[in-house]
Amino acid sequence: MRSGATIVGGVNETPDVADPAPADAAAPVGAESTAGSTAESTAAAQTERTPADLDAIARDLDGVDAALKRLDDGTYWTDEVTGEPIPDEVLAADPVARRAAPSRP
């Protein structure tokens, strides 16, 4: 809550504060607004995905699906190769881990 604001009957009441830039204030001559174009270009940059990005996202989703299936089957906490329990620390660090220890190449 801003300083000077009070709550009266469950309603926030804030004293009148002068607006530093009224909404109807004219921009200086020659100045053009770029807020819309900047926001649009930022949004476009955030949504552009390369094939490598899409492959990584697909692998992540496959890992989540496999983890959910193991959870349903009751084998989520079990190493898929050795059958040993996967430590909680490993699953906390990587919730889709399938092995208790990283596999060696």
Q: Are 93 and 85 in contact (CB under 8 A)?
A: no
The C-alpha atoms of residue 33 and residue 55 are separated, in whole angstroms, by 38
pLDDT for the residue numbered 40: 67
Query: Structural domain boundaries of the chain?
Result: 51-105
- Asked whether residue 81 carries a pLDDT value surpassing 80, the answer given is yes
pLDDT digits (tens, 9 = 90+) for 42-65: 666 677 889 999 999 999 999 999
- Is domain 51-105 in CATH 1.10.8.350, yes or no? no
Q: How confident is the model at residue 3 (pLDDT cuts 50, 70, 90)?
A: very low
Q: Tokens in use for 37? A: 């174009």
pTM of the predicted structure, to 2 decimals: 0.51
What pLDDT sits at residue 41?
64
Which pLDDT score, from 0 to 100, does residue 48 have?
A: 85
